[in-house]
């Protein structure tokens, strides 16, 4: 080989390396520019308030998992007492508004409700227990979101155990510190309490909403992957966080400037008034990153179960999901969870968009049409879509393809798709129409009623986010969901 021929590969390699160096430099430059813009943008907008800067001292993951339910409840009580004192000391007169959840006399105060639903609780049935249900709430949420479902299980003879995930139910600033390790430890501690209460005799059900669904599945999958006994007979999921958007994966970069005090607000994706008594409106960067890591851990655990050849150990799953969801990737519930399940009696129920003649044309087909093809395929599980009967008939029907069936069965569910609603939302599923806070026809005392607020007027006038008021907060098909859950309970 001539010298020229020998040098050709070196020249090509050198050119490739030079191109790679330029590409890396370009990416680094783009990241630095974006981070710089993010830092500058954080200097605009509202200042941080005490509920953003106070970080309550929760139990760490080791203390949680090595403790028990009674120790958790005692620590939680001390936590809430300290937090209340700290907030009252730090709040300024301008913070004491009629819609601030942290002002004791406000319409949005948790104290205005029949109990402090931000805390962990257990609902015992009036009869001899027939089972135990653990219910896990979602990210930035609180145990309140499991209130109606917990009552449903109690009415059917189950002990309902609803833990508060660390960092939740207190102040948004808590989510700048607490994360998946503490949440997973809390699930483990709660499941130990649940198994104790079953006494090895009663069925154990696990119910998870959003991030709580991912945490519950992760707990079960890890036990199976480790060869441990799975004590859960049934899993019920609502808007499960199987996959989140791509931004959550890299959300940590958005918060880098927060290490410099001047840019502390870059630790937050949203800084909003806190008018919801049981859910944060402000949202920190770290919470987005932790939610992605939970879904990543879940996929790893499911892979481990599959590699062990133990997918048949997973209990039957009943899941409810809106076809459109701005928080999680809705199709991933089908493709990344249900399509991996064995034929074990599982069912996926989708709430479709309103396909009426006036509404369907203004919907984006790229995010609403995927259910049409999904119903054409026979699967190992039952696949159901609840929506309008036709473009001229808003009667709600359930179109179901049973497991391994050739055709689709259609039946009415005794309801209509409301004409003023074009879809469900991620946050709507657990709440019936009479929910005191989120329902269209709220029951209970005179408190803030977010589900009834439907306002029209001029832009840039409201003190709260118009988008948050427009988002559906209750489930018009809750009764159908309730019936399907009750069918999974022992007679």
Checking if the pLDDT of 354 tops 90, the result is: yes
Q: Which one has a higher pLDDT value, 114 or 1?
A: 114
* Cβ-based neighbour number of residue 461 at 10 Å: 8
The pLDDT assigned to 248 comes to 56
Residue 185 confidence class, pLDDT cut points 50, 70, 90: very high
- Flag whether pLDDT at 37 surpasses 50: no
Q: What is the DSSP letter of 411?
A: E
For the record, the structure tokens of 455 come out as: 């306002």
pLDDT of the residue at 373: 86
Q: Which of 69-78, 208-217, 262-271 has the lowest mean pLDDT?
A: 262-271
Does residue 140 carry a pLDDT above 50?
Answer: yes
Query: Cα dist. 145→5, 134, 371 in Å?
Result: 71, 13, 27
Pairing of strands 234-238, 347-351: unpaired
CA angle 202, 205, 210 (to 5 degrees): 165
For 87, residues 6+ apart whose C-beta sits below 8 A from its C-beta are 50, 51, 54, 102, 171
**3-class state of residue 362 by DSSP:** helix
Length of the chain as a residue count: 491
Q: If phi over 0 gives left and psi between -120 and 50 gives alpha, with beta otherwise, what is residue 197?
A: alpha
What is the pLDDT at residue 177? 93
Lowest mean pLDDT among 176-185, 417-426, 466-475, 480-489: 466-475
> What pLDDT is attached to residue 364?
83
β-pair type (268-270, 234-238):
unpaired
Contacts by 485-488 with C-beta closer than 8 Å and gap 24+? 485/149, 485/152, 485/236, 485/318, 486/152, 486/156, 488/205, 488/234, 488/236, 488/316, 488/318
What integer pLDDT is reported at residue 264 of this predicted model?
Answer: 56
Helix (H, G, I), strand (E, B) or coil at 136: strand
Q: 477 falls in which pLDDT band (50, 70, 90)? A: very high
Query: What mean pLDDT comes out for the span 346-355?
Result: 96
How far, in Å, are 190, 243, 257, 350, 364 from residue 318 at the CA level? Answer: 21, 18, 42, 11, 28
User: Where residue 249 falls among pLDDT bands split at 50, 70, 90?
Assistant: low
Res 23: pLDDT:
62
Q: Which residues have CB under 8 Å from 332's CB, separation 6+?
A: 242, 243
**CA–CA dist 44, 40 (Å, integer):** 8
DSSP class per residue in 176-240: GT--HHHHHHHHHHHHHHHHHHHTTTS-EEEEEETHHHHHHHHHHHHHHHTTPPP---EEEEES-
Measured over the CA atoms of residue 337, residue 338, residue 344 and residue 346, the dihedral's sign is positive
Question: What pLDDT, on the 0 to 100 scale, is given for residue 442?
Answer: 84
- Residue 35 pLDDT > 60, yes or no? no
Confidence (pLDDT) at 360 = 80
- H or E element: which one contains 478? helix 478-486
Contact between 166 and 56 (Cβ < 8 Å) = no
Instruction: For residues 218-222, give the mean pLDDT.
Output: 98
DSSP 3-state percent helix, strand, coil across the chain (nearest 5): 45, 15, 40
Q: How far apart are CA 239 and CA 426, in angstroms?
A: 6
Strands (DSSP E) contained in 285-417 are 317-322, 347-351, 382-390, 393-401, 409-416
DSSP string, 289-304: HHHHHHHHHHHHHHHH
- Residue-level pLDDT at 18: 66
When pLDDT is cut at 50, 70 and 90, the band that residue 17 belongs to is low
Contact 112, 184 (CB under 8 A): no
CA distances from 428 to 303, 394, 440 (A): 31, 20, 11
pLDDT of residue 22: 67
Is the pLDDT confidence value at 440 over 60? yes
Average pLDDT for residues 274-283, to the nearest whole number? 95
pLDDT score for 193: 98
Mean pLDDT of the chain, nearest integer? 88
pLDDT tens-place string over residues 328-344? 999 999 999 999 999 99
pLDDT over 50 at 30, yes or no: no
Q: What are the chain's domains?
A: 16-486 (3.40.50.1820)
Cβ pair 146, 162 in contact under 8 A: yes
């Amino acid at each position: 080989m001539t010298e020229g021929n020998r040098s050709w590969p070196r020249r090509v390699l050198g050119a490739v390396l030079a191109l790679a160096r330029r590409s890396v430099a370009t990416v680094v430059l783009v990241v630095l520019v974006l981070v710089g813009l993010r830092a500058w943008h954080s200097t605009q907008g509202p200042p941080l308030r005490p509920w953003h800067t106070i970080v309550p001292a929760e139990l760490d993951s080791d203390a949680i998992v090595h403790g028990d339910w009674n120790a958790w409840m005692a620590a939680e009580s001390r936590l809430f007492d300290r937090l209340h004192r700290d907030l009252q000391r730090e709040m300024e007169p301008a913070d004491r508004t009629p819609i601030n959840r942290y002002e004791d006399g406000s319409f949005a105060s948790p104290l205005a409700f029949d109990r402090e639903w931000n805390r962990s609780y257990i609902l015992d049935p009036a009869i001899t227990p027939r089972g135990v249900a653990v219910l896990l709430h979602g990210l930035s949420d609180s145990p309140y979101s499991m209130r109606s479902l917990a009552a449903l299980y109690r009415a059917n003879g189950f002990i309902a155990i609803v833990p508060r995930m660390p960092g939740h139910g207190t102040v948004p600033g808590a989510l700048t510190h607490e994360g998946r390790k503490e949440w997973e430890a809390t699930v483990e501690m709660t499941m130990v309490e649940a198994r104790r209460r079953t006494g090895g005799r009663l069925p154990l059900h696990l119910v998870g909403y959003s991030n709580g669904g991912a945490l519950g599945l992760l707990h079960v999958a890890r036990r199976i992957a480790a060869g441990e006994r799975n004590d859960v007979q049934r899993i019920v999921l609502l808007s499960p966080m199987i996959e989140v958007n791509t931004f959550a994966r890299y959300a940590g970069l958005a918060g880098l400037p927060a290490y410099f005090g001047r840019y502390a607000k870059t630790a937050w994706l949203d800084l909003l008034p806190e008018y919801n008594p049981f859910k944060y409106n402000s949202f920190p960067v770290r919470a987005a990153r932790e939610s992605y890591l939970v879904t990543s851990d879940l996929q790893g655990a499911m892979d481990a179960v599959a590699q062990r050849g133990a997918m048949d150990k997973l209990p039957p799953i009943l899941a409810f999901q809106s076809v459109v969801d701005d928080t999680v990737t809705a199709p991933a519930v089908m493709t990344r969870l249900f399509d991996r399940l064995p034929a074990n009696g599982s069912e996926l129920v989708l709430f479709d968009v309103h396909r009426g003649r006036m509404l369907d044309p203004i919907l984006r087909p790229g995010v609403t049409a995927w259910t049409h093809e999904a119903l054409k395929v026979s699967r190992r599980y039952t696949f159901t879509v609840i929506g309008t009967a036709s473009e001229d008939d808003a009667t709600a029907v359930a179109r179901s393809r049973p497991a391994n069936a050739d055709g689709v069965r259609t039946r009415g569910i005794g309801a209509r798709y409301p004409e003023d609603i074009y879809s469900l939302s991620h946050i709507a599923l657990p709440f019936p129409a009479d929910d005191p806070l989120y329902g269209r026809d709220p029951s209970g005392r005179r408190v803030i009623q977010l589900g009834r607020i439907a306002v029209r007027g001029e832009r840039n006038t409201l003190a709260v986010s118009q988008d948050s008021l427009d988002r559906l907060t209750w489930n018009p098909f809750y009764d159908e969901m309730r019936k399907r859950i009750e069918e999974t309970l022992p007679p």
